Amino acid sequence: MSNAKTIKKAVLPVAGLGTRFLPATKAIPKEMLPIVDTPLVEFAVREAIEAGIEEIIFVTSHTKRSIEDHFDRNLELELKLSSSNKESYLDKVNLNEYEGIKFSFVRQRDQRGLGDAISQVSHLILPDEYFAILLADDLFDGNPGVTSQLMDAFKLHGKSIIAVNEVSEEETKKYGVISGELSGNLTSIEEIVEKPQSNPPSNLAVTGRYLLSGEIMEELKTLEPGFGNEIQLTDAIAKMLQKGEMLGLKYDALKFDCGSKEGFVQANIHFAKKQYIIS
Ligand code: G1P
């Protein structure tokens, strides 16, 4: 029996082309680009597992096979490491955290936007089930992780909840933007708009972590293309808002926008310092 108030599934859309990182992403998925020595996508997966997720569902494409390999075992490599005095690397290639975690992969055939990517897995999410969405491009350094912070708020309130942060007015153009009165770090969302090019409803930007009711799938089915002529998750959330309360959580963590070169380089510097690789 599914327990509506326990979130065990996370969806990670990873089908994007990674155009901004060409030529690196010609043959390598952008999610596999390393932050020091760890592929970007592994940070999101570990954050999800830390938050109690047991099933990771990737929305992928034919150019992203190495992501499947990365979350599988590589027995030949493990054997070589153990027989050549390199055992210390074993836990890097087969993390204990992955024990018991199910990884599934669903292909998105056309790139029609984030909302379209999420709707590809509608058959794996029940309407009365809540699930997490993590966009790997948004990399956080938080303790606990941002998904855990959302889970804690979800356990208290039992409602769909989105991670938000304050950005400058100029930057609101790049994000989903909500409005609502903050009480502490939580707000009831009044409005949500995808990438407002003028008159943003506030400076609270949506970041890539969501806990949503499976009802979103029904909204996505009938959605017309929105900003950028793409099916926008934000627009489906706006429709859900008309039916019931949703919350925004101002998380406590450092954020790196690894969809941009600047954020990607900054993340590398941050984690290299944290691991004492550079000072
Ligand atoms: C997506 C969402 C946007 C959100 C952003 C967070 O946009 O559509 O609402 O603010 O992720 O990273 P993208 O960055 O994929 O264009």
Report domain extents, the chain. Answer: 9-276
The C-alpha atoms of residue 158 and residue 151 are separated, in whole angstroms, by 9
Hey, which of 118, 119, 206, 223 would you mutate to test ligand 1's pocket, going by the most ligand atoms within 8 Å of its Cβ?
206
Q: Return mean pLDDT, the chain.
A: 94
Contacts of 19-26 with CB under 8 Å at 24 or more apart are 20/259, 20/260, 20/261, 21/261, 21/264
Among protein residues, the one whose CA lies closest to atom 7 of ligand 1: 175
- State whether the beta carbon of 214 lies less than 6 angstroms from ligand 1: no
Q: Is the pLDDT of residue 253 over 90?
A: yes
Q: Is 138 in the pocket of ligand 1 (CB under 6 A)?
A: yes
List pLDDT tens digits, range 29-38. 999 999 999 9
Residue 157 corresponds to which amino acid? Answer: H
Average pLDDT over residues 264-279: 95
Span 207-220, pLDDT tens digits: 999 999 999 999 99
CB 260 within 8 A of CB 20: yes
CA of 38 relative to ligand 1 center, distance in Å: 23
The pLDDT score that the predictor gives to residue 110 is 86
Report residue 277 as tokens: 């690789």
The CATH code for residues 9-276 is: 3.90.550.10
CA 66–ligand 1 middle distance (angstroms): 24
Confidence tier at 88 by pLDDT (50, 70, 90): confident
How confident is the model at residue 1, as a pLDDT?
40
The pTM of this model reads 0.96
Non-local (6+) Cβ contacts of 265 within 8 A are none
Mean pLDDT calculated for residue range 245-267? 97
Over 90: is that where the pLDDT of 17 sits? no
Tens of pLDDT, residue by residue over 90-148, are 888 887 888 899 999 999 988 899 999 999 999 999 999 999 999 999 999 999 999 99
pLDDT at 4 over 80: no
Q: How far is the CA of 175 from the centre of ligand 1 (A)?
A: 5
Give the CA distances from residue 246 to residues 103, 171, 213, 241, in Å, rounded to whole numbers and listed in that order: 28, 23, 10, 6
With beta carbons less than 8 A apart as the criterion, state whether 33 and 40 touch: yes
From residue 155, alpha-carbon distances to 17, 34, 49, 142, 148 in Å are 35, 33, 17, 19, 10
Top pLDDT among 39 and 111 is at: 39
